[in-house]
Amino acid sequence: MSFNTFGHMFRVTTFGESHGVALGCVVDGCPPRIPLTVEEIQRDLDRRRPGQSRFTTQRQEADQVKILSGVMETDAGQVTTGTPIALMIENTDQRSKDYSEIKDKFRPGHADYTYEAKYGLRDYRGGGRSSARETAARVAAGAVARKIIPDVKVRAALVQMGPHKIDRAAWDWDEIGRNPFFCPDKAKAEFFADYLDDIRKKGSSIGAVIEVVAEGVPAGLGAPIYGKLDSDLASALMSINAVKGVEIGAGFGAAELHGEDNADEMRMGNNGPVFLSNHAGGILGGISTGQAVVARFAVKPTSSILTPRRTIDKSGTDTDIMTKGRHDPCVGIRAVPVGEAMVACVIADHLLRHRGQVGF
Amino acid sequence: MSFNTFGHMFRVTTFGESHGVALGCVVDGCPPRIPLTVEEIQRDLDRRRPGQSRFTTQRQEADQVKILSGVMETDAGQVTTGTPIALMIENTDQRSKDYSEIKDKFRPGHADYTYEAKYGLRDYRGGGRSSARETAARVAAGAVARKIIPDVKVRAALVQMGPHKIDRAAWDWDEIGRNPFFCPDKAKAEFFADYLDDIRKKGSSIGAVIEVVAEGVPAGLGAPIYGKLDSDLASALMSINAVKGVEIGAGFGAAELHGEDNADEMRMGNNGPVFLSNHAGGILGGISTGQAVVARFAVKPTSSILTPRRTIDKSGTDTDIMTKGRHDPCVGIRAVPVGEAMVACVIADHLLRHRGQVGF
Amino acid sequence: MSFNTFGHMFRVTTFGESHGVALGCVVDGCPPRIPLTVEEIQRDLDRRRPGQSRFTTQRQEADQVKILSGVMETDAGQVTTGTPIALMIENTDQRSKDYSEIKDKFRPGHADYTYEAKYGLRDYRGGGRSSARETAARVAAGAVARKIIPDVKVRAALVQMGPHKIDRAAWDWDEIGRNPFFCPDKAKAEFFADYLDDIRKKGSSIGAVIEVVAEGVPAGLGAPIYGKLDSDLASALMSINAVKGVEIGAGFGAAELHGEDNADEMRMGNNGPVFLSNHAGGILGGISTGQAVVARFAVKPTSSILTPRRTIDKSGTDTDIMTKGRHDPCVGIRAVPVGEAMVACVIADHLLRHRGQVGF
Amino acid sequence: MSFNTFGHMFRVTTFGESHGVALGCVVDGCPPRIPLTVEEIQRDLDRRRPGQSRFTTQRQEADQVKILSGVMETDAGQVTTGTPIALMIENTDQRSKDYSEIKDKFRPGHADYTYEAKYGLRDYRGGGRSSARETAARVAAGAVARKIIPDVKVRAALVQMGPHKIDRAAWDWDEIGRNPFFCPDKAKAEFFADYLDDIRKKGSSIGAVIEVVAEGVPAGLGAPIYGKLDSDLASALMSINAVKGVEIGAGFGAAELHGEDNADEMRMGNNGPVFLSNHAGGILGGISTGQAVVARFAVKPTSSILTPRRTIDKSGTDTDIMTKGRHDPCVGIRAVPVGEAMVACVIADHLLRHRGQVGF
């Protein structure tokens, strides 16, 4: 029933609005005696932090995380205790902005109308709970998750912006950290710089596709039928703000394939079974195969744009709205570390769930 | 943690393998005093039942459902009592088949290897728990869900087979029941007959895309952040056998859109707000808008094909396998009523969850 | 939210009414490759079965259990597969009884009025879902749980009937199987025979206290704060029909103790720490100590008695009722195997939960 | 699975140790538009706060609560938004104490040994997560719960200290606030003052029994079978530190009653059904009857006492320990507002769950 919790053994509960005192999360179920420093969490948060290039919102949030509980100092350094790890990020950039424009009007593409329809009120300041700022808590939780699965490397990349896809032959993970788009294709990243500048200057926005790859996932994680690894990944990724689609491995492309092309053949390798392709995205029957787990998700364009759009207000009167402010021209960019975090959390959860039922 | 349960207020737990005594489900949380007959459930099951055309597996299962609990006869006919509704379908077509070919070999594209990796054993008879036969229990549960949301019409259609998409301008819901593909485009259905016959005769298989449309969903269902309606739909649809992708509204297409094109504008109508488009697929911020909820999912081609494929056996020896038997050339066809059922269950669950938190 | 499910990693969902087609349960999360026969389950069910002495209801139920799913035959015999184990018991003794007396009247002490208040209707036949017959499903699930914790011995005994407590110095576990009361005190069992005969002949009933002892529980099971082992035991035992109180170790007696008497001192033994007493009942801070886990629960007297009692009917008219029929003069007797089953289920669940978080 | 979460629709997740940065909770599922001020929460916290009389620990904690999220200012004052309410209490009295005595020794009656056995380490400072300080978060959550059920009055009282029970004929709710024991019997409260002073001066401690009474609970809350109101109350109350027993209505006393005495008869009153007694404690079949819900719980004596006790240390060596420090001579006293809070949370949860399934 939990509206703001995900995971089973490794559980994350987040709280906070964009303009409240603080936001954060409680990470429950973390194994004990795992080394964990605040710097490790901060490092991931800094990758998501806005204002680091002209391609993300200029809102300035320090996003300094505090560990409120769940760790203790030992001879081996700071470690988890097995009790809930509460992480808090105080909101600092709450400039006393003029909200009169959006207070009573519903911004198209935003959750304004639906929150109002559901709750009979909404926190219009910065989007309230529906703000992408909540994803900072996910990234913090993901940093904890990574410590539980040290042998799993979870990385994500922006593989498409607008209609422009990267050249997969040019994929270089090292490029991810060298451009402001988390793009693994150097040439395409250079193209995106101009492309997005143009969109930004026009006050428009654009969508994107992100790919998350988890290497080192052991075979056997996930579980039939409603605890499938891909089912949980789909839920986790679809819950990220602005995401409209999720696919695993060949994904929607699998619809166009014949059986003999789609099913990944196997051969015995030196270190166990080897698959000759990975259309499955590392998951068969909801359970990991030992291959890389590959998931992609589509992010819609930021709805806050500088073009006036038709809408209505709370009294039901037709009107127009133009949402000024500091927004991301491509909100998909900052979704990259968020996608990584969600996949890390899901895999950590399934590792513990598997160990619980089956042992090792 | 429940591996075989989904939903929160409206909860469904399924059980059973393709070759055990019976399969079925327990539907918990159903409101009391809702009229429910076994015929209503059977009607939905009959739509999923195999062997109804040459385009689905020739396996003959009567799929007769029994209501074991949770209903009682009243002056107003048979109604639910608010207690768990157990539904059972006995397995009748368990022909004593020769399983020697697949007993020790891992069929590519199937869950054989992953079940073995996870559990250290697997029920090789008919796929065991990983058999699509489990989806009969989902359809039965979906029939109960529909009774909770009588004002919501949940329908699905096959909109793509292989690379061939339907002509959306030719969409006619009435066509769905007139061809063996649940295809709403009459001309394309005729094309599919020849197309799939050819694939079937070659012993091959093909993927498909299914679209589910739920009309009449009131605004306000769903909840931030990890209880989003689209997040739960993604999880529910991805859990269906062979599904590799899920998208809502514009879906992956949203990645190619600019903000001014994607955000659905609003105007005041005679009966409340009217959206001028539905790129959102009826969901904003995880909460329903009152528009039709639109979800699509991609189904991979059946992995059981008549072409020999390379694989390994349990002892780790390279070998080949050709999976004979009675299989669906396009398993996406029978996924149509399953997709409807899952969406109906998710919406029913969210209706009860919303009523719990907010009332009406 | 699950109304009819308990447990987290080892989850049990029950269904069925006393007068429906069948009752049963779905056991989810059971580890794979555990030997399990239908006879092992039946053996526990037979201990709970009514009609075995004049001190329990003369209702004749065969209580034959069927395993519908979740097991398979291997070279090592029948074992679990890791998928849900569905167990079913068909109702056979549904004599077409005259229910006109209770159909519209609320029996004092029964759930008649509350079900009607909650659901707006109730299944008056044999108590419907509120019948103690549901506990057969618990016992069946408990038999599965025992197989997960082979080193833990869970036994229960009736230690009080009415105001008469057993002599704890005379405790002999072997006596449990030799008298119809599951009483470990031979002399007291003989006393109970006369005592309860008298009550039975008068058409009255009496309460009881049951003690469950689980030996061999390793230290470390259970978890702070809302996953405490004692908290889950309390929930599990209080959920049994007619139970009005649960206590652990010294229980309510602890309220009368001073700190120096209550806290169990420790000394180092040959095989690890030794406690010099067990006021804690084997649980400190919600986590098992390695001592025997000791829980007691109080069962109220059967409410169905032959003395007319004042009540009202559905129309709100004052009336009297005398509930004839085949009832237990001391329903606490048959609660003994039910208590064992619930404790076994809770411990099995916590073993898997512990293994998931901490490993071994 | 959640170790640190309870509730389903109204969910509470707590975090924090006695000596960390802060403790607190996240309250999820609260309905929107409910007036809620920080003062209302603080008022309940102040009742639990230590150091208010010589009969509770002299540890000085300000216990100032902050609302981090989930509320917003409206024309009608501050109200809930339907999103998670995070509450935080910073730890202020973390005097740099000498923990050398307890760092390596296991205090009898405490969770020291079991935490070490489970997690392989423990936060020895002030009891870490097992400290009763965690109950402050429960009281804060309970204050929110009360606002959801304004027509339900939840009050608790200390009804027994050591072997001394109050005179129930002298019960006066107004006395609760006039003595430091939350005792409703004025004369007995005066007796307790001397009695507990004596125990305190001797460095000993004593147990207690607390009774919680919830008036105004509508008939129909709770649900069969594993969602019973009494089952959830048992779990909630047993999870409070030092609690060893829970009973409902007649409780363990019901074991001594005959059926004709225990079953509460009914008559039609002016405003609906009237029960002629309340042995059931307001719950039948797990569902509320509309009578007052009555629960009692037993609290063991504080284990920290000034008498040396035998124990072992982490290296497995026999030793003695005397736990100095600022402790409660009767920890049951401060459990009174905690018991109220837990009952309020459970009832609020069940109100929302009932509304979800059945509506109103």
CB contact under 8 A, D15 and A81: no
Q: Which of D211, D241, D213 is nearest to D328 (CA)?
A: D241
Between CA B269 and CA A310 the distance in angstroms is 13
Q: What six digits make up the tokens of D93?
A: 């009295």
**Residue numbers of A between 329 and 348 with CB closer than 8 Å to D:** none
In DSSP terms, which residues pair with D209 in a beta bridge? D160, D298
Q: What is the 3-state secondary structure (H, E, C) of D236-276?
A: HHHCCCCEEEEEECCHHHHHHCEHHHHCCCEEEECCEEEEC
The answer to whether the pTM exceeds 0.95 is yes
Q: Within an 8 Å CB–CB cutoff, is residue A9 touching chain C?
A: yes
Confidence of residue C94 (pLDDT cuts 50, 70, 90): low
Collect all residues with Cβ–Cβ distance below 8 Å to C142 and sequence separation of at least 6.
C44, C337, C340, C341, C342, C344, C345
pLDDT band at C200 (very low <50, low <70, confident <90, very high): very high
The per-residue pLDDT for D96 is: 57
Q: Which of B328-337, C89-98, D14-23, D73-82 has the lowest mean pLDDT?
A: C89-98
Using a CB-CB distance cutoff of 8 angstroms, which residues of chain C are in contact with residue B32?
118-121
- How far does the CA of residue B333 sit from the closest CA of chain D (Å)? 34
- CA quadruple D236, D239, D243, D246: dihedral positive or negative? positive
Report the gap between the CA of C131 and the closest CA in chain D (Å).
9
**To the nearest whole angstrom, how far is the Cα of B86 from the nearest Cα of chain C?**
6
Strands (E), chain D: 5-6, 11-15, 22-28, 65-67, 71-74, 77-80, 85-90, 153-161, 164-165, 208-215, 243-248, 266-269, 272-275, 283-284, 287-288, 293-299, 309-312, 318-321
The pLDDT of residue C325 = 66
D339: left (phi over 0), alpha (psi -120 to 50) or beta: alpha
Question: What was the pLDDT predicted at C326?
Answer: 63
Hey, what's the torsion of the CAs at D328, D332, D333, D337, to 10 degrees?
Answer: 120
Q: What are the residues facing C12 on neighbouring strands?
A: C6, C27
Distances (CA, A) of D310 to D109, D115, D199: 11, 19, 21
User: d(Cα D360, Cα B356) in Å, to the nearest integer?
Assistant: 10
Mutate: best of C10, C122, C198, C238, partner D, most D CBs <10 A: C238
Contact A356 C352 (CB under 8 A): yes
Residues in D touching A34 (Cβ below 8 Å): none
* Contact call for C121 and B74, based on CB within 8 A: yes
- Tell me which residue in B5, B117, B267 faces A318 most closely, judged by beta carbons: B267
Can you give the pLDDT at residue A53? 78
* Contact yes or no for A223/A287 (Cβ under 8 A): yes
* Mean predicted confidence (pLDDT) in C151-162: 98
CB contact under 8 A, B109 and A262: yes
Of A352, A358, A360, the CB nearest to C82: A358
Q: Which of B326, B110, B183 is nearest to A259 (CA)?
A: B110
Least-confidence region, from B13-27, D226-240, D314-328: D314-328
Instruction: Give the separation between CA B95 and CA B325, rounded to whole angstroms.
Output: 11
Q: Which residue of B has its CA nearest to D29?
A: B357
Residue D137 has pLDDT above 60, yes or no: yes
Burial level of B360, CB count in 10 A (0-12/13-18/19+)?
A: exposed
Q: Do D259 and C220 touch (CB under 8 A)?
A: no
Say how many Å lie between the first and final Cα of chain A, rounded: 30
Which pLDDT does position C179 carry in this prediction?
96
Work out the average pLDDT over D101-125. 92
Per-residue pLDDT of chain A (360 residues; tens, 9 = 90+): 568 999 999 999 999 998 889 999 999 999 999 999 999 999 999 998 877 777 777 666 788 999 999 999 999 899 999 999 999 999 986 655 667 778 899 999 999 999 999 999 998 888 889 999 999 999 999 999 999 999 999 999 999 999 999 999 999 999 999 999 999 999 999 999 999 999 999 999 999 999 999 999 999 999 999 999 999 999 999 999 999 999 999 999 999 999 999 999 999 999 899 999 999 999 999 999 999 999 999 999 998 888 899 999 999 999 999 877 667 899 999 999 999 999 999 999 999 999 999 996
Question: From residue B223, how far is each of A103, B344, C281, D74, D83 by CA, in Å?
Answer: 21, 17, 43, 22, 9
Neighbours of chain D (3+ CB pairs under 8 A): A, B, C
Mean of all residue pLDDT scores within chain B = 93
**The pLDDT of residue B95:** 59
- In terms of Cα–Cα distance, which of D105, D99, D340, D116 is closest to D240? D340
Lookup: tokens for A15: 């709280």
> Best interface-test mutation with A: which of C352, C354, C360 has the largest number of A CBs within 10 A?
C352
Report the mean per-residue pLDDT for chain C.
93
Using alpha carbons, select from A235, B57, A73, D251 the residue that is nearest to residue C298.
Answer: D251
Average the pLDDT over D172-176 and give the result: 97
Is C313:C106 a contact under the CB 8 Å cutoff? yes
What residue has token string 């459930």?
B41
Among D79, D350, D355, the strongest candidate for a mutation testing the B interface, having the largest count of B CBs within 10 A, is: D355
Across C54-70, average pLDDT: 84
Phi and psi, residue C5, nearest 5°: -130, 145
Q: Give all chains having 3 or more CB-to-CB distances under 8 Å with chain C.
A: A, B, D
Amino acid D130 reads S
Question: How many Cβ atoms from other residues are within 10 Å of residue D13's Cβ?
Answer: 32
Share of chain B above pLDDT 90, in %: 83
Torsion from C-alpha of A212, A213, A214, A218, nearest 10 degrees = 130
Distance CA D144, CA D40 (A): 8
Task: Tell whether B17 lies on the interface with C, counting CB pairs under 8 A.
Answer: yes
- Identify how many contiguous H helices and E strands chain A contains and give both numbers: 8, 18
Residue B1 has pLDDT above 60, yes or no: no
At C205-256, the pLDDT tens digits run 999 999 999 999 999 999 999 999 999 999 999 999 999 999 999 999 999 9
Give the pair of three-digit tokens for residue B238. Answer: 């991805």
Chain A nearest CA to B26, separation (Å): 14
Q: What is the pLDDT, as a whole number, of residue D325?
A: 66
Q: Do B33 and C4 touch (CB under 8 A)?
A: no
Is the torsion defined by CA of B280, B281, B287, B289 positive or negative? positive
How far B33 CA sits from the closest chain D CA (Å)? 9
- Subunit contact A355:C359, Cβ cutoff 8 A: yes
Judged by a CB distance cut-off of 8 A, whether residue B359 touches chain D is: yes
Residue of A nearest to D24 (CA): A86
| Residue D2 binned pLDDT confidence (cut-offs 50, 70, 90) | low
Reply yes or no on whether the pLDDT at D326 is more than 90: no
What average pLDDT does range B243-254 have in this prediction?
98
Across the range C85-102, mean pLDDT stands at 81
Tell me the chain D residues in contact with residue B1 when contact means C-beta distances shorter than 8 Å. Answer: 1
Distance (Å, whole) CA D188 – CA C158:
36
Neighbours of chain A (3+ CB pairs under 8 A): B, C, D
% of chain D beyond a pLDDT of 90: 83
Least confident of B23-37, D83-97, D311-325: D83-97
Task: Quick: pLDDT tens for B152-187.
Answer: 999 999 999 999 999 999 999 999 999 999 999 999
Mutation target among A258, A297, A302 for the B interface, most CBs of B within 10 A? A258
All residues of chain B having their beta carbon less than 8 Å from the beta carbon of residue C32 are 118-121
Of C1, C224, C356, the CB nearest to A356: C356
Residue of C nearest to D349 (CA): C1
Chain C, 63-122: which have a CB under 8 Å from a chain D CB?
106-111, 113-115, 117-120
> Are B2 and C74 inside 8 Å of each other by CB?
no
pLDDT in tens, B63-122: 899 999 999 999 989 999 999 999 999 998 665 566 777 889 999 999 999 999 999 999
How many beta carbons lie within 10 A of that of residue A194, not counting itself? 9
| Range in A171-175, B9-13, C302-306 the model is least confident about | C302-306
Q: Nearest chain B Cα to A306, which residue?
A: B260
pLDDT at D97: 67
Q: Is the pLDDT of residue D98 over 60?
A: yes
Q: Which of residues 24-43 of A touch D (CB under 8 A)?
A: 24, 26, 28-29, 32-33
Rounded Cα gap, residues C13 and B28, in angstroms: 9
* Residue D279 forms contact with C (CB below 8 Å): yes
Per-residue pLDDT tens over the stretch C275-293: 999 999 999 999 999 999 9
Q: Which of A118-132, B130-144, C135-149, D214-228 has the lowest mean pLDDT?
A: A118-132
Residue D301 corresponds to which tokens in the numbers above?
């004596």
Mean pLDDT of chain D: 93
Q: Decide if pLDDT at B340 tops 90.
A: yes
Q: Chain D window 118-177: which residues touch C at a Cβ cutoff of 8 Å?
A: 118-120, 129-130, 134, 160-163
Q: Which helix (H) or strand (E) holds C342?
A: helix C335-358
Where are any strands of DSSP class E within chain B? Answer: 5-6, 11-15, 22-28, 65-67, 71-74, 77-80, 85-90, 153-161, 164-165, 208-215, 243-248, 266-269, 272-275, 283-284, 287-288, 293-299, 309-312, 318-321
Choose among C11, C67, C125: nearest Cβ to B2. Answer: C11
Q: Which pLDDT score, from 0 to 100, does residue B20 have?
A: 86
To the nearest whole Å, the CA of D27 is away from the closest chain B CA by 13
3-state SS assignment for residue C72: strand
User: What is d(CA C136, CA C243) in angstroms, rounded to the nearest whole number?
Assistant: 16
Q: Give dist(CA D22, CA D62) in Å, integer.
A: 12
